[in-house]
Amino acid sequence: MARTALVTGGSRGIGAAISKALKAEGYNVAATYAGNDEAATAFTAETGIATYKWNVADYDESAAGIAKVEAEVGPIDIVVANAGITRDAPFHKMTPEQWHQVIDTNLTGVFNTVHPVWPGMRERKFGRVIVISSINGQKGQFAQVNYAATKAGDLGIVKSLAQEGARAGITANAICPGYIATEMVMAIPEKVRDSIVAGIPAGRLGEPEEIARCVTFLASEDSGFINGSTISANGAQFFV
C-alpha cells in the first residue's frame, strides 16, 4: 500500500513542488496551507492533491488537522515541515511581534507538525521527518535575526530527533535551500535580488523542483541510513 506524506505549506512555492514530486513517486499526499484558499483550490484542481487548512503555529489545530488527514488519507509516514514565513527587519527595529510570529510559525510550527505524527511512526517502525530549513540558518542574514534563529533551530531539531528515532526506523533530516524562485524571494526588491544572484556562483536562483528532488531522495525506503543530515542546495553559495 502506498505510504502517506503530509506537506505543510504544500499548496504554494517550494511546498507545492514537493507535494507534486511526492505524488509523482506514488505517495498519497496531503498538503496544508494557512489561509490562501484561492491558491489551495487552484492547486487541488490542477493536481488532485487534497488540501487542508490550519495554522501550524497552533498545536491543537495541528493535532486536529493531522488526525483528520490520517482518517481521510492514511497514517502519515512522511512528514515535510515546510511552512514558513519571514518578517524581516534590522535588529534595532525588529518588534517583539515580528520575533514571535516567525518563532511561532517556523520553529514551534515544526514541533506542532512532527509531535502528533511521531507516536504513529514509532509504532509502525517507519518514519521520514524532513524539515525545510534555509541557508540563512547556516550563515545568518542581515535583518533576519528571527528567521535565522528558527532555521538554525531546525537543524538542532532534526539532529535530536534523528537520535531518538533511529532505532524505531525513523529518520529526520533537514534541507537548506539557497535562494529559490518563489513568491517569497520574488517579493524581495529587484535591485536586492540582483545583488543576491550576483553572489550565487551558479549565477541563478534555484527552482522549487530542485528542492523537491532532495525531499523525494530523503523520503525513500533506501535512505534509511541518512539520519540527522543537512542537505545544502544553494548553487555553491558557500559560507563560513
User: In the complex, which residues of this chain contact ligand NDP (CB under 6 A)?
Assistant: 8-9, 11-15, 32-36, 39, 55-57, 82-85, 105, 132, 134, 177, 179-180, 182-185
Strands across the sheet containing 76-81: 50-53, 28-33, 4-7, 76-81, 127-132, 170-177, 230-233
* Set of cell numbers at residue 161: 530527533
Measured between alpha carbons, how far is 173 from 26 in angstroms, rounded to an integer?
Answer: 21
Give the nearest distance from C-beta 17 to ligand NDP in angstroms. 8
Give the nearest distance from C-beta 105 to ligand NDP in angstroms. 4
Closest to ligand NDP by CB, 40 or 161? 40
Closest to ligand NDP by CB, 6 or 126? 6
Name the active-site residue from 33, 52, 147, 179. Answer: 147
> Would you call 179 a catalytic residue per the annotation?
no
Give the nearest distance from C-beta 55 to ligand NDP in angstroms. 5
Measured between alpha carbons, how far is 198 from 144 in angstroms, rounded to an integer?
Answer: 20
Closest to ligand NDP by CB, 46 or 123? 46
Give the nearest distance from C-beta 92 to ligand NDP in angstroms. 23
Sign of the CA dihedral 44, 158, 209, 103? positive
Residue 143: Cβ-neighbour burial (10 angstroms; 0-12, 13-18, 19+): middle
Q: C-alpha angle with apex 148: 115 to 160, nearest 5 degrees?
A: 35
Measured between alpha carbons, how far is 161 from 148 in angstroms, rounded to an integer?
Answer: 20
Closest to ligand NDP by CB, 9 or 165? 9
Supply the residues annotated as catalytic. Answer: 147
